[in-house]
Amino acid sequence: MSIYYLIELLASFFAVAIVLTLHEFAHAFVAYKCGDPTPKFNGRLTLNPLAHFDILGLILFALAGFGWAKPVPINPNNFNHYKRGLALTAVAGVVMNYVTAFLFCPLFYLVLYYVNIPIVGLQYFLEMFTLYLFLYSVSFCVFNLIPLPPLDGWRVVQALNRRRGKVYRFFERYGYVILIVLIGIHFLVNFMSNYEMLRLASRILSYADILGYIMNYVVRAFQWPITALWGLVF
């Protein structure tokens, strides 16, 4: 195992910690500002990463490149305006991620083009750390827009749809399982593609990799305005 691989793992871990924390803090802050003290009472109105980590979501983030944090508990009945408060709280995390992606992108360019640290490994760590901050911010934003529980996209569905029909109840009950299956397929496709004897099976399974299509194409679409704009500066 090379030193550069360990540096990438360390940079990835710190980047994940920051991206997840900012995402969940945004939910807690907006809910609190909309009149609900529940996040504060539960210790979620904080920038301490330990308050927001979900073990399974963190492991999946490390293995598959995306996951989730521990959902912020809210009581919509406390909102000053029920529907508006629910909607604003639902989108707060993804908005935070996209805004921070816009800020992390030039930080990466600054480190890449203008920072030169002669200490072995430190320059590489800073480059990978700032790159992961940008990439994870965008991927976490897109991933959380998927309308399946426990993701933010499902919260938006809850905020906009007060009717609870059969389709809604089905996804409410099985959405978590569907999400795990989608992540599992995507992970298997990527894992098998690394081995020559499994690449044919990987290509066949890739047709069912719905999550892969979403993350590849939608993430690129979300990244393009940011990189295009900052590319004019750098």
- Biggest distance spanned by C-alpha atoms of the chain: 62
Out of 24, 127, 172, 196, which one is annotated catalytic? 24
Sign of CA dihedral 134, 207, 186, 211: positive
Q: Which two tokens stand for residue 178?
A: 């569907």
Question: How far apart, in whole angstroms, are the C-alpha atoms of residue 49 and residue 58?
Answer: 11
Separation CA 19–CA 96 (nearest Å): 9
| Rounded Cα gap, residues 35 and 158, in angstroms | 19
Between CA 129 and CA 137 the distance in angstroms is: 12
Of the chain, the end-to-end C-alpha distance in Å amounts to 34
24 catalytic residue (yes or no): yes
Report the catalytic residues.
24
